[in-house]
Structure 1
Amino acid sequence: MRPRINKKLAAVGVAAVVGVASTIALTSGSANASPVYGYNGYSIGTDVQGGIVASGPQVKSEISCTTDATRKSRNDLATANVNDQTIAKTVTTDTFAFAEKRGNGVTSTATAADIRVGSLLHLKGAKTTTTAWIKNGVTYYTGSTTFADVRIGSVSVRSLLKAKPNTKVAVPGLGYIVLNRVGGVKTDAGIYSYAQAVVLHATVRNRYIPEGVDVAVLKTRAEVTKPATALVIGDAYATKANVDKLVKSGPTSYQATCQGTGGRTDRVAVGEVNIPKVAYVGAAFTTKRGDIGPNKSYVDFSSHVAGIKVANLSIGAIESSASAWKTKDGKVGLNSRSTIASIKVGNKVYPVKTGENAELEIPGIAKLTFNQVLRQSRYISVNALVIDVYSLNTKVVVGHSAAGVIG
């Protein structure tokens, strides 16, 4: 019967929780540093949105978590495929930030000379674009899609060359499409806008796209944040496992950000995690909280694991946290912390070592690294525990938190 590891495991082994904290505070930059804008955006040729299909975003250009108003990205590809079928030809994507008379913002554009689903649908000269910008504290956005020709079956439909936003059209033999999906959303931090030339909804069996799958073709997003002392970055997860360079189990309870949460606490939890032939993990959750503003930007991440069993190891409650902040006078603060309740192999109890990057060798079983910290001038990350399992040639990271500021 598979053992269940929970908070009671914290009482096994050492009597008290051993914690390790790391803190660094820096004063950098000039007083009353100028606020920065944050720029994010992407353009994608095709993106499968449902079902099990071996195709992620294709022909992607992206800028992410940057304060550089000159940042840009461009991508070209002859074709974009879905399910081994060519959906779009002569695809170009382009995303760039700007700071000019109209304000600070991002524009994302995607084009395709030809979009085709066999003889069911044919779109020529497709172009979709969206822009989000801020000027004098006011947010704006635009988004649109145009076509040179739209054919449903063998019928040309000229009224759809400049389709109204979110126009739904039935396509016999496929299901339906939505043309010119477009919108804008104001957030606590700023504004983002999105546009998609066409979304293909395969609701019936066909030879081109698996039934039940949605495919967005020419998908764009543009996002800009209000002026702030800094952007905030970071992430947290409960566990991750790798065999050599292969992913055995991706990050669990994963969270990330580059703009904060508007000051609220976001929590992502899992009841338990079973990594086949490697580990059994009890209940786990992560939290993130942060905000960006003209006087101070900050972010806090944390990771909490009730307990984990790896090989013959039984490890009690594991926690980590990381925080970063910056004030308008240029001061930056970083700190991290991790705790592990207990370590036990059979009836033998092992000590939880303190200090950064401390190691414990358990002969023939595993090497344990405690409080693994990576520190840079404006970024800090901590892995509460890293387990190298000899017999499985596997590395398991438990309790990861990271935080930083940009700008």
Structure 2
Amino acid sequence: MGPRIGYKKLAAVGVAAVVGVASTIALTSGSASASPVFGYNGYGIAVEATGGVVNSGPQTLSTISCTTNSSAADTNDVATANVNNHAIAKTVRTNTHAFNNKDGNGVTSTATAVDVKIGNLLHLTGVKTTTTAVYKNGKLSYTGNTTYAGVKIGAVSVPSLLKPAHNTKVAVPGLGYIVLNRVGGVKTESGIYSYAQGVVVHANVKNKYIPEGVDVAVLKTRAEIAKPAVGLVIGDAYVTKANVDKLVVSGPTSYQATCKGTEGKTIRASVGEVVIPKVAYVGAAYTTKNGFQSKDKAAVHFTSHVAGVKVGNLAIGAVNSEAKAWKTKDGKFGVSSTSSIASIKVGNKVYPVKTGQNATLDIPGIAKLTFNQVVKQQRYIAVNALVIDVYSLNTKVVVGHSAAGVVG
């Protein structure tokens, strides 16, 4: 069964990331009141594999993301989760939900499986993993744990591992080793997040089930709660992204996003160059993000900077963009964006850089350029400094994307 989403999902950070900038954004605008809000985030995942030639991505995912809705919830279930064409977890269910009750404000994420099995090397039954992050009476805390109905290593049952201590490491002959009941948490100035994983498999021995060098997390959960604030800051930035119709041929580069800010610190993500095969070459580039949220004010600022872009004979100078959003406890708020392009050339011919929002320039036989492409809502703004429609390749390249918003 596919995901069942039982809440109004918040916006998607970076909606303007899609080429053409969507005209509407699923952003819960909320009121302009000064009442503090909480930020809720979390997920439950059945199986996720990383390393080597295997990268399964999250399976059986339930998630709530960047929301101030204390009733947000998501549930997902599936018969079997696989890695490397082998059934790893059977009868899997994940659930993530926010709450605001006598226990405080928080998020709980749970993942269960009737059966977790790797051939005849490892067999776990009745596995349940849960983690919770809570804000109550001015304090942040978390809990996390996994229990098992049965644990078998090879042909040997191990009753002592039914309720293992956190982060218990166990050797598994013919496979490598596993970590049972993996739990942790990180507290920051703006909130806390916790994680719990039923079992993490480290395959460092050649076997027929999981490629050597691959790590597999089974029943992976995360819960996060942000301290009460006047608003929840969101946004993203990237250097380039390329699409052919709806097919992404080059994902966002130097990508950064946020769901609750950076506690006022500027974080930079740089790249030496970007090559989009058969489409474009992008020089040195970077993005920045800076945001914070408190009971008095919430603000966020994203920027994107590109040294230059070449598409065939088309040469574009430095491209920059930025987006800002803020809100104060007295209900005042604002958003703004800017973008700039240094120069445009085809061979020795120089073309004018047009100003204003959504201005266009057609270079016959080469490309259509759209400048300063903006989507704006009450407390959210996104800007693409430049969108290049490459005629011969039916390809759109977004250059210099920044977006910022405040929810709540």
Structure-1-length-normalised TM-score: 0.92
Q: Which residue identity is paired with 1:130?
A: T
Aligned pairs for 1:61-72 within 5 A: 61-72=62-73
Residue 98 of structure 1 aligns to a residue in which SS?
strand
Could you tell me which residue of structure 1 aligns to residue 266 of structure 2?
265
Q: Which residue identity is paired with 2:226?
A: T
* Partners of 2:368 and 2:151 in 1: CA distance: 62
- Give RMSD over aligned pairs: 1.1
Question: Cα deviation per residue 1:346-374 (whole Å; 9 max; x = unaligned)?
Answer: 11100000100000000010000000001
Tell me if the contact between 2:254 and 2:271 (Cα under 8 Å) persists in the aligned partners.
yes
Shift of 1:244: 2.0
Could you tell me which residue of structure 1 aligns to residue 323 of structure 2?
322
Could you tell me which residue of structure 2 aligns to residue 86 of structure 1?
87
Residue 228 of structure 2 aligns to a residue in which SS?
coil
Shift of 1:185: 1.1
Question: Cα deviation per residue 1:37-88 (whole Å; 9 max; x = unaligned)?
Answer: 0000000000112222251100110000000000100001000000110000
Could you tell me which residue of structure 1 aligns to residue 341 of structure 2?
340
Shift of 1:210: 0.7
* Partners of 2:326 and 2:61 in 1: CA distance: 32
Answering whether residue 211 of structure 2 is matched by residue 210 of structure 1, we say yes
Answering whether residue 100 of structure 2 is matched by residue 99 of structure 1, we say yes
Could you tell me which residue of structure 1 aligns to residue 179 of structure 2?
178
Q: Which residue identity is paired with 2:172?
A: V
Could you tell me which residue of structure 2 aligns to residue 363 of structure 1?
364
Question: Cα deviation per residue 1:351-399 (whole Å; 9 max; x = unaligned)?
Answer: 0001000000000100000000011111100000000000111110000
Q: Which residue identity is paired with 1:255?
A: Q
Tell me if the contact between 1:54 and 1:83 (Cα under 8 Å) persists in the aligned partners.
no
* Partners of 1:30 and 1:386 in 2: CA distance: 33
Shift of 1:30: 5.6
Residue 229 of structure 2 aligns to a residue in which SS?
coil
Q: Which residue identity is paired with 1:397?
A: V
Tell me if the contact between 2:50 and 2:56 (Cα under 8 Å) persists in the aligned partners.
no
Could you tell me which residue of structure 2 aligns to residue 25 of structure 1?
none
Question: Cα deviation per residue 1:130-151 (whole Å; 9 max; x = unaligned)?
Answer: 1110012101111100000000
Shift of 1:183: 1.2
* Partners of 2:213 and 2:67 in 1: CA distance: 36
Could you tell me which residue of structure 1 aligns to residue 384 of structure 2?
383
Shift of 1:29: 4.5
Residue 160 of structure 2 aligns to a residue in which SS?
helix
* Partners of 2:391 and 2:43 in 1: CA distance: 41
Range moving further from structure 2, 44-53 or 141-150? 44-53
Q: Which residue identity is paired with 1:348?
A: K
* Partners of 1:29 and 1:128 in 2: CA distance: 36
* Partners of 2:31 and 2:93 in 1: CA distance: 40
Structure 2 unmatched ranges of 5 or more: 1-29
Aligned pairs for 1:154-233 within 5 A: 154-233=155-234
Q: Which residue identity is paired with 1:79?
A: T
* Partners of 1:305 and 1:65 in 2: CA distance: 28
Identity of aligned residues (%): 72
Q: Which residue identity is paired with 2:96?
A: T
Could you tell me which residue of structure 2 aligns to residue 58 of structure 1?
59
Tell me if the contact between 1:149 and 1:161 (Cα under 8 Å) persists in the aligned partners.
yes
Residue 236 of structure 2 aligns to a residue in which SS?
strand
Tell me if the contact between 1:231 and 1:259 (Cα under 8 Å) persists in the aligned partners.
yes
* Partners of 1:184 and 1:278 in 2: CA distance: 43
Residues 30, 284 of structure 1: alpha-carbon distance in 2 compared, 3 angstrom cutoff: closer
Task: Give the paired residue count.
Answer: 380
Shift of 1:312: 1.1
Question: Cα deviation per residue 1:282-305 (whole Å; 9 max; x = unaligned)?
Answer: 100000000010000000000000
Larger radius of gyration: 1
Tell me if the contact between 2:142 and 2:185 (Cα under 8 Å) persists in the aligned partners.
yes
Tell me if the contact between 1:122 and 1:150 (Cα under 8 Å) persists in the aligned partners.
yes
Could you tell me which residue of structure 2 aligns to residue 278 of structure 1?
279
Q: Which residue identity is paired with 1:308?
A: V
Could you tell me which residue of structure 2 aligns to residue 74 of structure 1?
75
Residue 38 of structure 1 aligns to a residue in which SS?
strand
Q: Which residue identity is paired with 1:363?
A: P
Residues 180, 366 of structure 1: alpha-carbon distance in 2 compared, 3 angstrom cutoff: same
Tell me if the contact between 1:114 and 1:122 (Cα under 8 Å) persists in the aligned partners.
yes
Could you tell me which residue of structure 1 aligns to residue 252 of structure 2?
251
Tell me if the contact between 2:48 and 2:55 (Cα under 8 Å) persists in the aligned partners.
no
Task: List structure 1 segments (4+ residues) > 6 angstroms apart after TM superposition.
Answer: none
Could you tell me which residue of structure 1 aligns to residue 9 of structure 2?
none
Could you tell me which residue of structure 2 aligns to residue 146 of structure 1?
147
* Partners of 1:29 and 1:71 in 2: CA distance: 18
* Partners of 2:356 and 2:365 in 1: CA distance: 24
Q: Which residue identity is paired with 1:381?
A: A
Structure 1 unmatched ranges of 5 or more: 1-27
Could you tell me which residue of structure 2 aligns to residue 400 of structure 1?
401
Q: Report which structure shows greater RCO (CA 8 Å, sep ≥6).
A: 1
Shift of 1:266: 0.1
Answering whether residue 51 of structure 2 is matched by residue 46 of structure 1, we say no
Tell me if the contact between 1:39 and 1:105 (Cα under 8 Å) persists in the aligned partners.
yes
Structure-2-length-normalised TM-score: 0.92
Could you tell me which residue of structure 1 aligns to residue 353 of structure 2?
352
